[in-house]
């Protein structure tokens, strides 16, 4: 495999709700995902994340695993309802203290903490007051960002305000498959704008408490039109605007792509300067390309989603397309030129079963080869984070898809490193 630049940050990624458990401990408030899990029929397997991987109690063991793995960085998220149980007002000292201890333990182990402030677990009280459809939530988020920043920025260099606002908007507010379970179709789009605003306000709030390096973690897919017909190409452009550029353009260029302006709140333009607060890095979560075609007869939407065919599938049904990562990084270079900050791949990974997971090894090998090609083509990528350290609660699919380098037995909570764990360890050993 191609060598990666000196100082390249190799890591693993997780999120609070998916691994912590202890949902009723330490003064934590209720999040939209607790509510969603408790609503019959929402989680395919009927499961919840009350225990999850019990990382809240076992974080020392998990850090020991990361030390054995030899990663330089660990991307995790802070649960807003642990820090501010109702999303505004008083701080829950025990909750903030948990992350303080986690950061200390990581620093002691020589692992750089990369903190995501929000990975979809909105405090329920804020959701009840309008959630991401309300401008107010963006201001509450900036206050929360300042609280966490003030406490941790002396030890945490890398900050990511929000994880994948596109997924929350699409699955949480447009289609109702994720919390908070609203099925508003295009009326969900203000949620994207207010999350963009929250991002920008949080960047400024973090700067004011001396956070050093601030970025993002957006989910991105190259869009593949079904054919080269004008209608399919136009549909793909529209989907690209909704799925990718609606997040990157305002952050990096201070404007929205033309196709999405019709979906935004009337006063969106007033927020563009705040959203475009300068970034130190841009985070890409890459899983798969998205197929697309012109809408068929009777379909009122501007595009139709199509499955990508002809590629192997993960157990989660995702096509494995390593070159999509190289392709998308090329699109970023072309679209943003000198406005593009250095990039981190903040998530990349796959669900496969078993501890002898040769498919995951192949997956990582092929994605890193594609990443190496992107570097050769001129992308400035500074780090790569595998999703995920541990098998965990995969949202509405429950515990069925297994994304970890480490297997978790959900009865005993025993952790067992998979073959891919040792493969990654050896790769990192060679990189040191």
Site string for ligand FCB, 186-225 (x = CB under 6 A): ---------------------------------x------
Neighbours of 219 (CB within 10 A): 21
Contacts of 79 (CB under 8 A, 6+ apart): 16, 17, 20, 28, 31, 95, 121
Contacts of 128 (CB under 8 A, 6+ apart): none
Give the long-range contacts of residues 406-415, CB within 8 A, separation 24 or more. Answer: 406/65, 407/355, 408/53, 410/51, 413/51, 413/53, 413/54, 413/58, 415/61, 415/62, 415/65, 415/390
Task: Please say which residue, 163 or 213, places its beta carbon nearer to ligand FCB.
Answer: 163
Task: Please say which residue, 271 or 347, places its beta carbon nearer to ligand FCB.
Answer: 347
Active site residues: 164, 347
- Tell me how far, at minimum, the Cβ of 393 lies from ligand FCB, in Å: 9
End-to-end alpha carbon distance in the chain? 15
Catalogue the E-assigned strands of 276-403.
282-286, 290-293, 304-306, 343-348, 381-387
- Tell me how far, at minimum, the Cβ of 420 lies from ligand FCB, in Å: 15
Give the position of tokens 């607790």.
Answer: 34
- Tell me how far, at minimum, the Cβ of 44 lies from ligand FCB, in Å: 14
CA distances from 168 to 182, 252, 350, 421 (A): 10, 20, 20, 30
Site string for ligand FCB, 270-289 (x = CB under 6 A): ---------------x----
Under rule CB under 6 A, residue 15 binds ligand FCB: yes
- Tell me how far, at minimum, the Cβ of 387 lies from ligand FCB, in Å: 5
**Which span sits near ligand FCB by CB under 6 A: 95-103, 148-156, 159-167, 228-236?**
159-167
Asked if 134 and 85 count as a contact pair (C-beta separation under 8 A), the reply is no
Under rule CB under 6 A, residue 167 binds ligand FCB: yes
Task: Please say which residue, 103 or 386, places its beta carbon nearer to ligand FCB.
Answer: 386
Task: Please say which residue, 213 or 219, places its beta carbon nearer to ligand FCB.
Answer: 219
Under rule CB under 6 A, residue 121 binds ligand FCB: no
Smallest CA-to-CA distance from 109 within 136, 74, 77 is with 74
Task: Please say which residue, 167 or 231, places its beta carbon nearer to ligand FCB.
Answer: 167
**Which span sits near ligand FCB by CB under 6 A: 121-129, 146-154, 160-168, 292-300?**
160-168
**Cα 293–Cα 297–Cα 300 angle in degrees, nearest 5:** 75
Q: Whole-angstrom Cα distance, residue 334 to residue 341?
A: 13
Q: Whole-angstrom Cα distance, residue 293 to residue 228?
A: 10
Q: Whole-angstrom Cα distance, residue 68 to residue 23?
A: 28
Given 159, 268, 395, 399, the residue binding ligand FCB (CB under 6 A): 395
- Tell me how far, at minimum, the Cβ of 351 lies from ligand FCB, in Å: 7
Given 125, 288, 359, 394, the residue binding ligand FCB (CB under 6 A): 394
Task: Please say which residue, 23 or 219, places its beta carbon nearer to ligand FCB.
Answer: 219
Given 4, 56, 403, 421, the residue binding ligand FCB (CB under 6 A): 403
Site string for ligand FCB, 18-57 (x = CB under 6 A): x---------------------------------------
- Tell me how far, at minimum, the Cβ of 404 lies from ligand FCB, in Å: 11
- Tell me how far, at minimum, the Cβ of 2 lies from ligand FCB, in Å: 26
Smallest CA-to-CA distance from 77 within 105, 113, 41, 51 is with 113
Task: Please say which residue, 118 or 194, places its beta carbon nearer to ligand FCB.
Answer: 118
Given 23, 122, 163, 216, the residue binding ligand FCB (CB under 6 A): 163
Catalogue the E-assigned strands of 333-431.
343-348, 381-387, 406-408, 415-417
- Tell me how far, at minimum, the Cβ of 337 lies from ligand FCB, in Å: 27
Task: Please say which residue, 164 or 391, places its beta carbon nearer to ligand FCB.
Answer: 164
Distance of CA 116 to the CA centre of its chain: 8
Helix, coil or strand: residue 26: coil
Task: Enumerate residues 339-358 that contact ligand FCB by CB under 6 A.
Answer: 347
Q: Whole-angstrom Cα distance, residue 226 to residue 235?
A: 10
DSSP sequence for 32-62? HHHHHHTSTTSSTT---SSSTT-HHHHHHHH
Residues that bind ligand FCB (CB under 6 A): 15, 18, 163-164, 167, 219, 285, 347, 387, 394-395, 403
């Amino acid at each position: 495999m191609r060598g990666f630049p000196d100082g390249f940050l190799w890591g693993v990624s997780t999120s609070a709700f998916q691994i912590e458990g202890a949902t009723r401990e330490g003064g934590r408030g209720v999040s939209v995902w607790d509510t969603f899990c408790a609503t019959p029929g929402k989680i395919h397997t009927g499961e919840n994340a009350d225990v999850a991987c019990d990382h809240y109690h076992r974080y020392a063991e998990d850090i020991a695993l990361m030390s054995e793995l030899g990663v330089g960085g660990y991307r995790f998220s802070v649960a807003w309802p642990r820090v501010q149980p109702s999303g505004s007002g008083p701080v829950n000292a025990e909750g903030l203290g948990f992350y303080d201890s986690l950061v200390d333990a990581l620093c002691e182990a020589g692992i750089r903490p990369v903190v995501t402030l929000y990975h979809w677990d909105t405090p329920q009280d804020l959701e009840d007051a309008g959630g991401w459809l309300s401008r107010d939530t963006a201001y509450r988020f900036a206050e929360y960002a300042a609280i966490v920043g003030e406490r941790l920025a002396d030890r945490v260099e890398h900050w990511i305000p929000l994880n994948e606002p596109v997924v929350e908007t699409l699955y949480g507010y447009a289609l109702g498959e994720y919390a908070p379970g609203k099925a508003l179709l295009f009326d969900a789009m203000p949620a994207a704008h207010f999350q963009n605003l929250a991002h920008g306000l949080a960047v400024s709030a973090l700067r004011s408490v001396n956070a050093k390096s601030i970025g993002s973690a957006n989910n991105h897919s190259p869009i593949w039109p079904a054919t080269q017909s004008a209608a399919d190409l136009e549909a793909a452009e529209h989907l690209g605007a909704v799925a990718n550029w609606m997040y990157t353009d305002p952050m990096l260029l201070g404007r929205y792509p033309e196709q999405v302006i019709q979906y935004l709140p009337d006063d969106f333009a007033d927020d563009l300067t705040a959203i475009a607060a300068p970034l130190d890095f841009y985070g890409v979560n890459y899983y798969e390309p998205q197929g697309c075609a012109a809408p068929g007869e009777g379909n009122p939407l501007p595009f139709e989603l199509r499955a990508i065919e002809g590629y192997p599938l993960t157990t989660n049904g995702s096509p494995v397309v390593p070159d999509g990562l190289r392709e998308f990084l090329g699109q970023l270079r072309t679209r943003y030129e000198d406005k593009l900050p250095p990039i981190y791949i903040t998530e990349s990974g796959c669900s496969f079963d078993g501890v002898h997971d040769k498919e995951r090894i192949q997956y990582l090998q092929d994605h890193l080869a594609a990443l190496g090609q992107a570097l050769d083509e001129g992308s400035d990528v500074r780090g790569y984070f595998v999703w995920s350290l541990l098998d965990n609660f995969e949202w509405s699919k429950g515990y069925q898809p297994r994304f970890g380098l480490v297997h978790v037995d959900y009865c005993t909570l025993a952790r067992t490193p998979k073959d891919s764990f040792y493969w990654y360890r050896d790769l990192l050993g060679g990189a040191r």
